[in-house]
Amino acid sequence: MYVIYSLGDPDEKFREASKDVIEGQFRRGYEFLKDRDDVPESVKTLFRLENSRRIDITSFIRRKRNQEFMRHPLDNKSHEVLIANYTSKIRHLQELIRYDNPYMSISRIMCNHFKNKRNKRLNELSRMDQGRYKAVVAKLGLKHQPSQAGVIDDLPVVRNDSLRQLTREYCDNIRRERLTAYHDKLKALQKPFLEEKKRTLEWIQKEMEKYNINEEDVSTEFRIRDKYRDLPVKRTPVSV
């Protein structure tokens, strides 16, 4: 016997949370039916947003939010419209995480991606026009601190860059540990090397005293040897 635990319909929770916005609203296509008498009311009821899918509700909220900032009917690239569009996507992804699955990694990644794009547009708008910037922040209810001139903002956390940085730090730690170990090994060999060098110098000094050789003789010998080292060798002809 299997027991199924139901957590409820996520779309129903989303519709309940958006009730104040979608109440009495209809999705696209209703304008062709509302004035016709041959269409039953049951069909028109299907176009209500209270009975629609989440994607229809999200599209309606996005269009309504964008229309508040559009300067003309074809405006879709101004800073205000793009910021409103990114805000709609961010809030939609946050609702997906809240109502569907709090462990959706791809939704979290995309949410951070759109936040970075929105922050970039907000910084540009704050440098262009402070009045428009304050108006869009107040109307959308955003909390944003504009970047200062000449100050580089913190870079967004990206998976590939983070992996490269961790790999670089790991390799640097290994290199540092091996160099430290090699340095300790050389320090341990330094004392025997100095003792051997001292014994060798004492033996050389004794031999020079034994054969009555001074430093000038040694330097003269090496100078003469270097002088005649590269002279051509005289070859004697061989008779056959």
Which tokens in the block code for residue 218?
């040694």
Which tokens in the block code for residue 130?
């402070």
Return the pLDDT at 10: 53
Return the pLDDT at 41: 78
pLDDT bucket at 167, cuts 50 / 70 / 90: very high
The span from the CA of 200 to the CA of 197, in Å, is 5
The span from the CA of 125 to the CA of 87, in Å, is 15
Q: Which residue has the higher pLDDT, 232 or 67?
A: 67
Enter the DSSP assignment of 103: T
pLDDT bucket at 236, cuts 50 / 70 / 90: low
Hey, where are the domains in the chain?
A: 10-148, 164-227
pLDDT bucket at 208, cuts 50 / 70 / 90: confident
Give me the DSSP letters along 199-240.
HHHHHHHHHHHHTT--HHHHHHHHHHHHHSTTSPPPPPPPP-
Q: For 30-87, how does the pLDDT look when each residue is reduced to its tens digit (9 = 90+)?
A: 777 777 777 787 777 777 777 777 777 778 878 888 888 888 888 888 999 999 999 9
Q: For 148-166, how does the pLDDT look when each residue is reduced to its tens digit (9 = 90+)?
A: 766 655 556 667 778 888 8
Closest CA to 83 of 161, 138, 151, 162: 138
Closest CA to 23 of 49, 47, 62, 51: 49
Enter the DSSP assignment of 141: T
The span from the CA of 43 to the CA of 32, in Å, is 12
In angstroms and rounded to an integer, the radius of gyration of the C-alpha atoms of the chain is: 41
* Overall fold of domain 10-148: Helix Hairpins (1.10.287)
Asked whether the whole model's pTM tops 0.85, one would answer no
User: In degrees rounded to 5, what are phi and psi of residue 42?
Assistant: -65, -35
Task: Report the chain's mean pLDDT, rounded to a whole number.
Answer: 79
